[in-house]
Amino acid sequence: MKLSRETQYGLTGVLYLASQPAGAVINVADISEATGISFPFLAKICNRLARGGVLRAHRGRSRGYALARSPALLSVREVVEAIEGPNLFHHCVFWSDACSDAQPCVMHELWVQVRPRIANLMDETSIDDLARFHREGDGAETPAAMLVRAANVSRS
């Protein structure tokens, strides 16, 4: 399971929105400037996140996006699936184009055991958990490492 750059940027944008006051509506240009993500690419990502129920789009005078729910109630998995699609955890991580249940690759059985664990880890880790560890980290930690650390601490 290789996540796209779009997912990385989507998580970055969602984390930025999570750092704002609750219910704050922020326009894409401001999110783009704060995160360093190109405006056109971020606009496309925010649109997809809004369609997926992660963000709420606001029109009119206060044009922009806000989180659809509290960061504590929004899972990392929801963000990832809003961008990558709901079948993300059904694709083979090793040879996704050539592997299927009907024609499994040599690593298929291992992936079948691992993918529910990864899905659960993302499901159990909220955006609030990820944001907290992002703030406390040194900035060099990868999103995957933050996810694992957040999930381990939230279970203790």
Tens of pLDDT, residues 73-92: 999 999 999 999 888 877 77
Q: Which residues of 25-54 are buried (b: 16+ CB within 10 A; e: fewer)?
A: ebebeebbeeeebeeeebbebbebbbebeb
Number of domains in the chain: 1
Range of the domain at 56: 5-155
For residue 106, the domain's CATH number is 1.10.10.10
Q: Is 1 helix (H, G, I), strand (E, B) or coil?
A: coil
Sign of dihedral through CA atoms 98, 101, 103, 104? positive
- Of 12-26, 54-68, 94-108, the range with the lowest mean pLDDT is 94-108
Give me the pLDDT at residue 30, please: 96
Confidence of residue 108 (pLDDT cuts 50, 70, 90): confident
Rounded average pLDDT over 15-37: 95
**pLDDT surpassing 50 at residue 137:** yes
Place of tokens 């995957």: 144
